[in-house]
Structure 1
């Protein structure tokens, strides 16, 4: 009885939120984000650990994806183009790490790149019969070309080689929008099976944790983090990219949580969600 009452209360809240005008939804989203940031700042002593946590959640999402491909032997609902964009920005980021700031994150990115390349291989060759190519119709030049142009115009002002600085900016910008083809696939199908939903939700959580890491670190250093990144527009663009990554997936994550709480295994997205 209590479970059914809980479900009714959650449905009432979600129905009320859904009926609100766009401006009110934006305000509610910002309030929820600020509350989450305050919560993280209180329970996580070293805010640098949030970045490690983000990478761990991302790895968990990829593990779910690998399980889907191996056990279910299907890649239906997945975007090959998103995986290719992910491989591109990871490869560029690895190059920058090797020539600019080699650290533990380089090893983590290497593992992520290897698994992403494996996913691409499975989708292109082993499971290509289940690949929904007609649904994966997002034109990559819509994101790649703007990212290239933006990286040429706005990049770090460090003492590194200009090519390396442009590459660094490119991978930051491309990562922010790499999930767009996956969202297009889900927009076209309107129904998202569990493993794909888990994977995309993990991306959303990972990107929120990364965004929280930057914001809290900026507050901890009283803005000195921005000057450490350089001068000009670059520090602001880094933070903007992190925010874009988070808000791109915010709507999907809302419906994912609603679906899980409601006990639904398959996520059905309303029109215009992604």
Structure 2
């Protein structure tokens, strides 16, 4: 493991911690898209089908368990917690995320490395992760005024993917025959989706202003 992947993993973990901190301490999920959280839970389930079958390392297994557990903990809070669920912006979170799921399923069936169940599910999770943030970004654009924890959550989530792209560049330069075009293209699409948010996030941070996205 190189430093870029490690930092990327820590940014990903930090984004989850920030989100859970917001939900648990503030008893609020205002500004958080349930649909994005459902997509991420689906991503982790499909990607980690090997969690109890193929052991790579203690670190790898631990991170898989953390992301799976946290994803379903967030869904439980937003769907079942009697206080938190009342703060959910259901009327604003209307992105039709099932179209994303359907599109990624079709793409994974036709564009994959190997036509096996686990490989297609893994490929599907890569495609879906690339676009899972879309409902969240649309919700933020509609609500416009964004609290600090929500803004930091999305920022750390985008930073995680940015460091993973640096990890791929590093591995391409140091490991012979390292080619993963599907992952690279999906990662580039995912990172590009954050570009507008990053611009306004850094602008608000530099000017010490509340984060607002344009309509």
TM (norm. structure 2) is: 0.92
One of 153, 164, 168 as aligned partner of 2:110 = 153
Larger radius of gyration: 1
Task: Report the counterpart of residue 247 of structure 1 in structure 2.
Answer: 192
Q: Shift in Å at residue 100 of structure 1?
A: 5.2
- Residue deviations 1:164-192 (CA, integer Å, cap 9, x gap): 11111011111111111101111211221
Residue equivalent to 2:139: 185
For residues 105 and 193 of structure 1, the distance between their equivalents in structure 2, rounded to whole angstroms, comes to 32
- How far apart in 1 are the matches of 2:91 and 2:4? 38
Per the alignment, residue 121 of structure 1 pairs with: 76
Distance in 1 separating the partners of 2:131 and 2:65: 20
CA–CA separation in structure 2 for the residues paired with 1:248 and 1:90: 20
Kept after mapping to 2: 8 A contact 1:96/1:167: no
- Please say if 1:108 is aligned against 2:63: yes
Matched, 1:163 2:117: yes
The structure where helix makes up a greater share of residues is 1
TM alignment of 1:229-248, pairs within 5 A: 235-248=180-193
1:79-127 C-alpha deviation (Å, 9 max, x unpaired): 0111111111111111145445643323202101111211111111211
Q: Judge conservation of contact 2:51–2:64 (CA < 8 Å) in 1.
A: no
Choose which of 13, 37, 46 in structure 2 pairs with 1:83: 37
The answer as to 2:182 corresponding to 1:225 is: no
Aligned match of 1:135 in 92, 106, 110? 92
Deviations 1:39-96 (A, max 9, x none): xxxxxxx7x2211211111111111111111221111000011111111111111114
Contact 2:104–2:124 (CA under 8 A) maintained in structure 1: yes
Task: Compute the displacement of 1:143 (Å).
Answer: 0.7
Cα 1:250–1:105 shift into 2, 3 Å: farther
2:150 to 196, 202, 218: 196
Q: Distance in 2 between matches of 1:220 and 1:73?
A: 46
- Structure 1: runs of 5 or more not aligned: 1-45, 227-234
Q: Structure 2: where are the runs of 5+ without partners?
A: none
Cα separation, 2, equivalents of 1:144 and 1:102:
28
Report SS of the residue matched to 2:48. helix
Which residue in the other structure is 2:128 paired with?
A: 174
Check 1:153–1:97 CA distance in 2 against 1; reply closer, same or farther (3 A cut).
farther
User: CA RMSD, aligned part only?
Assistant: 1.6
Q: Give deviations 1:227-250, integer Å, cap 9, x for gaps.
A: xxxxxxxx3222100111111112
**C-alpha deviations, 1:240-262, integer Å up to 9, x for none?**
00111111112101211111121
Counterpart CA distance in 2 for 1:55 and 1:98 is: 21
Moved more, 61-70 or 96-105: 96-105
Of 20, 26, 38, which aligns to 1:72? Answer: 26
* Distance of aligned partners of 1:172 and 1:207 in 2 relative to their CA distance in 1, 3 Å threshold: same
1:54 aligns with 2:22: no
